[in-house]
């Protein structure tokens, strides 16, 4: 590693500011990171637009933090290239590895390291002093950030006198105050209670868009991913499964893993066989309205794709109501036909009773059909 060196001309504020705007497009090319035999990142390529709010989402251990640490310069990948703006900050081929301090990034990580001997105010100020902000500007930025994060009254306390959630907000304040062109955040709201978390999402989103900072944000909370991002990257076992804007991710998951991971309650995934456009699993039969061209499929039906009627004369197959779970504006219902159990969603004002029989049809145009062998999306019906 000794012969590795920083790229010529560190990534400075000046090189990033072009035409008055911050240029911080990030290109990640063929990035691989191994820990011994374990491949934490496998050939990951990703283009992140200037000013984008990109969320890395996936189950525990899928490589989210590793990818963020590679961007930050805290890990040396085994292979690949990372370019920010027009500077190569990492290249295995050219043996370039810019140290974290030269990458001009702001980071908040899962474990937020605060200085124990400094007050909240001094911890945040520390970030501003590092980038040599004039005192007046720094005082103003500091007050503004602390107030926005609801920490104004706690500014003279020491980290040991704060709760976990408050400490997390100090770490966040330290990042936001410095207004770096790139924000890297690893579950920055994970220690906050549900209400504060919601408020902070709004603040953070506003901060990010005001600053125009390119943001890479790690979470395993899908609500956070869906509400805050411009695009979501779903990862599994160190590989990217899908990169899409949130609405598209929800409507057209590219494989059954993504379909299953996104959405609460979960999507109904039903293995079915057929020859033509009518498919059945022995219990339920659905006319897809188009021909997938294969015999074994997995049907993806969101709970809201089920049209459920308590009218015995209504069109559709008969299911039995197994469970009723009221959830604010909606009610989640579990339905059974034969051995098949599925989840549906109805309005809170519709009253069903346990064991009641209901008629069910499916919204053909929003169903997705997957190849049972590859688990990949064949073609959504609404594209036909
Ligand atoms: N320093 C390390 N040494 C060995 N293995 C590591 C190291 N860091 C991470 N790993 C492994 O790499 C894989 C990816 O870890 P990573 O921390 O990136 O996951 P993650 O997606 O951030 O998960 P979480 O949601 O739990 O934070 C895991 O299997 C983890 O055990
Ligand atoms: Mg992690």
Mutation choice for ligand 1 from 31, 33, 37, 40, CB with most ligand atoms inside 8 A = 40
What's the pLDDT tens digit per position in 237-275? 999 999 999 999 999 999 999 999 999 999 999 999 999
Of the bound ligands, which one is closest to the alpha carbon of residue 220?
A: 1
Mutation choice for ligand 1 from 65, 77, 233, CB with most ligand atoms inside 8 A = 65
C-alpha closest to that of 273 among 369, 341, 380, 379: 369
pLDDT surpasses 80 at 44: yes
Of the bound ligands, which one is closest to the alpha carbon of residue 109?
A: 2
Q: Give me the number of domains the chain comprises.
A: 2
pLDDT surpasses 80 at 21: no
Report residue 189's pLDDT band, with 50, 70 and 90 as the boundaries.
confident
Residue nearest to atom 29 of ligand 1 (CA): 61
| Max mean pLDDT range (79-93, 117-131, 190-204) | 79-93
If asked whether residues 181 and 301 sit together in one domain, one would say: no
If asked whether residues 83 and 217 sit together in one domain, one would say: yes
3-state secondary structure the chain: CCCCECCCCCCCHHHHEECCEECCCEEEEEEEEEECCEEEEEEEEEEECCCCEEEEECCCCCCHHHHHHHHHCCCCCCEEEEEECCEEEEECCCCEECCHHHCCEEEECCCCCCCCCCCHHHHHHHHHHHCCCCHHHHHHHHHHHHHHCCCHHHCCCCHHHCCHHHHHHHHHHHHHHHCCCEEEEECCCCCCCHHHHHHHHHHHHHHHHHHCCEEEEEECCHHHHHHHCCEEEEEECCEEEEEECHHHHHHCCCEHHHHHHCCCCCCEEEEEEECCCEEECCCCEEECCCCCCCCEEEEEECHHHEEEECCCCCCCEEEEEEEEEEECCEEEEEEEECCEEEEEEEECCCCCCCCCEEEEEECHHHCEEEECCCCEECCCHHHC
Query: Rounded mean pLDDT of the chain?
Result: 88
Inside any domain, residue 257: no
pLDDT surpasses 90 at 151: no
Inside any domain, residue 8: no
Host domain of residue 331: 266-383
What's the pLDDT tens digit per position in 320-351? 999 999 999 999 999 999 999 999 999 999 99
The CATH number of the domain where 282 resides is what? 2.40.50.140
If asked whether residues 23 and 78 sit together in one domain, one would say: yes
Of the bound ligands, which one is closest to the alpha carbon of residue 66?
A: 1
Q: Exposed/middle/buried for 311, CB within 10 Å: 0-12, 13-18, 19+?
A: exposed
| pLDDT value at residue 8 | 32
If asked whether residues 27 and 165 sit together in one domain, one would say: yes
Residue nearest to atom 22 of ligand 1 (CA): 65
CA distance 211 to 96: 29
| pLDDT value at residue 110 | 64
Inside any domain, residue 298: yes
If asked whether residues 247 and 275 sit together in one domain, one would say: no
Task: Give the Cα-Cα-Cα angle 128, 130, 133 (nearest 5 degrees).
Answer: 45
If asked whether residues 233 and 300 sit together in one domain, one would say: no
What's the pLDDT tens digit per position in 283-307? 999 999 999 999 999 999 999 999 9
Q: Which residues surround ligand 2, an ion (CB under 5 A)?
A: 65
- CB-based contact 304:345 (threshold 8 Å): yes
If asked whether residues 235 and 287 sit together in one domain, one would say: no
Of the residues 222, 251, 280, the one at which a domain ends: 251
- Which residues have CB under 8 Å from 111's CB, separation 6+? none
205, 212, 286, 288, 378 from 278: Cα distances, Å: 45, 50, 6, 6, 16
Of the residues 251, 283, 303, the one at which a domain ends: 251
What's the pLDDT tens digit per position in 95-124? 999 998 888 888 887 666 788 899 999 988
Of the residues 198, 221, 251, the one at which a domain ends: 251
Mutation choice for ligand 1 from 63, 190, 221, CB with most ligand atoms inside 8 A = 63
Report residue 82's pLDDT band, with 50, 70 and 90 as the boundaries.
very high
* Ligand 1 pocket, CB under 6 A: 35, 38, 40, 58, 60-66, 220
Inside any domain, residue 5: no
If asked whether residues 72 and 215 sit together in one domain, one would say: yes
If asked whether residues 147 and 287 sit together in one domain, one would say: no
If asked whether residues 91 and 198 sit together in one domain, one would say: yes
Global pTM reads 0.87
């Amino acid at each position: 590693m000794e012969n590795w060196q920083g790229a010529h001309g560190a990534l400075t504020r000046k090189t990033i500011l072009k035409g008055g705007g911050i240029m911080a497009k990030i290109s990640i090319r063929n990035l691989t990171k191994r820990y011994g035999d374990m491949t934490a990142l496998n050939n990951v390529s990703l283009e992140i637009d200037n000013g984008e709010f990109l969320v890395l989402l996936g189950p525990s251990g899928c490589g989210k933090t590793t990818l963020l640490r590679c961007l930050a310069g805290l890990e040396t990948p085994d292979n690949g290239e990372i370019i920010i703006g027009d500077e190569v900050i990492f290249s295995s081929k050219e043996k370039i590895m810019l140290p974290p301090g030269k990458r001009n990034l702001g980071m908040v990580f899962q474990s937020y390291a605060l200085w124990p001997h400094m007050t909240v105010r001094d911890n945040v100020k520390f970030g501003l002093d590092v980038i040599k902000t004039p005192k007046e500007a720094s005082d103003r930025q500091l007050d503004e950030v602390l107030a926005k994060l609801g920490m104004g009254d706690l500014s003279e306390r020491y980290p040991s006198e704060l709760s976990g959630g408050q400490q997390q907000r100090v770490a966040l304040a330290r990042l936001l105050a410095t207004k770096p062109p790139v924000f890297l955040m690893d579950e920055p709201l994970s220690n906050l209670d549900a209400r504060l978390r919601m408020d902070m999402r709004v603040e953070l989103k506003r901060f990010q868009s005001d600053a125009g900072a390119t943001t890479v944000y790690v979470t395993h909370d899908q609500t956070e991913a869906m509400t805050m991002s411009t695009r979501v990257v779903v990862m599994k076992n160190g590989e990217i499964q899908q990169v899409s804007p949130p609405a598209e991710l929800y409507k057209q998951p590219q494989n059954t893993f993504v379909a299953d991971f996104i959405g609460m309650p979960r999507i109904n995934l039903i293995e079915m066989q057929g020859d033509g456009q009518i498919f059945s699993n022995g219990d339920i039969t659905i006319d897809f309205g188009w021909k997938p061209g294969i015999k074994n499929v997995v049907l993806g039906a969101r709970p809201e794709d089920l049209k459920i009627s308590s009218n015995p004369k209504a069109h559709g197959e008969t299911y039995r109501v197994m469970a009723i779970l009221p959830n604010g504006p909606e009610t989640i219902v579990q339905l059974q036909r034969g051995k098949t159990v599925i989840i549906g969603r109805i309005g809170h004002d519709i009253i069903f009773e346990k064991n009641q029989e209901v008629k069910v049809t499916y919204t053909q145009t929003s169903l997705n059909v997957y190849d049972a062998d590859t688990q990949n999306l064949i073609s959504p019906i609404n594209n036909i």
